[in-house]
């Protein structure tokens, strides 16, 4: 095992927690000429308990849920980007409770102000002519699209939009 690669790996792990794949990518960037020495060091770090993808993913998921940062889909995407295996992600997602409604509601409330401002400006400038019912439908459609693009589930979107707009989720 290459001592230089091992030292850099330990220094990196001392600075921040990471997944097995993140450490591998980092070491390959630092030592492109020593590709054969990287994997043994990564596996040694895992064997020593310095890297545990499930613990790392659980910590990220807990901070994600407690910080109200977004949807389950966003969390799964973040964990995938960090190189966590799908089976490990599935295991973590079973154990961690994510409250999607609070962050979705905050995001939607903020976006609704922007939507209303833009609609009002467009109506005042004569760019669009909408009835009151059409304005309500446009607001609802734009909010639904916004939340869907951010990865929220259909159920979360329906609940948030109906609460925010004080409408029945079945109304069109």
Classify residue 22 as exposed, middle or buried by CB count within 10 Å of its CB (0-12, 13-18, 19+).
buried
Q: What is the arithmetic mean of pLDDT over 40-45?
A: 94
pLDDT of residue 100: 80
Mean pLDDT, range 145-168, rounded to an integer: 88
- Token readout for 117 is 């401002």
The token pair that represents 164 in the structure block: 């925010």
CB 35 within 8 A of CB 28: yes
pLDDT-based confidence at residue 51 (cuts at 50, 70, 90): very high
DSSP-assigned letter for residue 128: -
Cα–Cα distance between 127 and 142 in angstroms, integer? Answer: 17
> Alpha-carbon dihedral of residues 36, 38, 42, 45, nearest 10 degrees?
110
Tell me which residue has tokens 């209303």. 116
Give the chain's length. 172
Tokens of 59: 């910590």
Residues 6 or more apart whose CB falls under 8 angstroms from that of 131 comprise: none
In this prediction, residues 41-53 reach a mean pLDDT of: 94
The answer, yes or no, to whether residue 63 has pLDDT greater than 50, is yes
Listed range (41-50, 96-105, 129-138) with the worst mean pLDDT: 96-105
Select the more confidently predicted residue: 133 or 70.
133
What pLDDT does 61 receive? 87
Q: Using alpha carbons only, what angle is made at residue 48 by residues 31 and 66, rounded to the nearest 5 degrees?
A: 90
pLDDT greater than 70 at residue 168: no
- Report the predicted TM-score, pTM, of the whole model to 2 decimal places: 0.68
Q: pLDDT class for 84, splitting at 50, 70, 90?
A: very high
* Mean pLDDT of all residues in 162-166: 89
In the 8-state DSSP scheme, what is residue 34? G
**Residue 53 contacts residue 85 (beta carbons within 8 Å):** yes
């Amino acid at each position: 095992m290459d001592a230089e690669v091992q030292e850099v790996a330990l220094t990196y792990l001392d600075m921040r927690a990471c997944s097995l794949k993140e450490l591998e990518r980092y070491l390959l960037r630092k030592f492109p000429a020593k590709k054969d020495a990287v994997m043994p060091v990564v596996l040694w770090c895992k064997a020593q308990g310095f890297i545990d993808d499930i613990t790392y993913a659980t910590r990220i998921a807990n901070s994600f849920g407690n910080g109200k940062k977004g949807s389950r889909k966003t969390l799964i995407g973040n964990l995938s980007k960090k190189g966590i295996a799908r089976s490990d992600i599935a295991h973590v997602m079973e154990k961690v409770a994510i409250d999607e409604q609070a962050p979705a509601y905050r995001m939607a409330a903020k976006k609704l102000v922007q939507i209303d401002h833009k609609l009002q400006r467009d109506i005042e400038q004569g760019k669009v002519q909408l009835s009151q019912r059409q304005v309500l439908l446009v607001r609802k459609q734009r909010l639904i699209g916004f939340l869907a693009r951010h990865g929220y589930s259909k159920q979360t979107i329906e609940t948030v939009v109906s609460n925010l707009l004080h409408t029945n989720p079945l109304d069109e």
